[in-house]
Amino acid sequence: MRRVRCAQRLQRDLGVNLAGAAPAVDLLDELERLRLRRFMRLAKVDTEAEQMLGARFGIRSISTLALFHGGLELARQPGAMGAADIVRWARSHWFG
């Protein structure tokens, strides 16, 4: 039931179609499991609105994923990725 409500919120608030909401909900579930284990947190930054932050981290492409640990950047990946690919990418750099 929680997943259905989450998918409905994604559709209502962000215009995500239901087919696209499924991988997003999977990603949110996986990130929540990692967060609860204190391994990882996810943050989204609008670099058009936060240009100084984008410049500080040298973000030149939208979308850009960056993985940090202890304030140090471990990995960076420009370009859009699906939920499963994001989880796989993060795990490969975090645990690998």
CATH number at residue 69: 3.40.30.10
Same domain, 77 and 90: yes
Q: What pLDDT sits at residue 4?
A: 80
Same domain, 5 and 52: no
Same domain, 34 and 50: no
Same domain, 20 and 33: yes
Same domain, 35 and 64: no
For residue 66, what are the contacts with CB-CB under 8 A and spacing of at least 6? 57, 59, 73, 75, 76, 77
Residue 31 binned pLDDT confidence (cut-offs 50, 70, 90): confident
In what helix (H) or strand (E) does residue 67 lie, and over which residues does it extend? strand 64-69
Domain that holds residue 93: 43-96
DSSP assignment of 45-87 equals: --TTT-HHHHHHTT--SSSEEEEEETTEEEEEEES---HHHHH
Q: What is the pLDDT of residues 49-81, one digit of tens each?
A: 888 888 888 888 778 888 887 778 889 988 888
Same domain, 1 and 25: yes
Domain count within the chain: 2
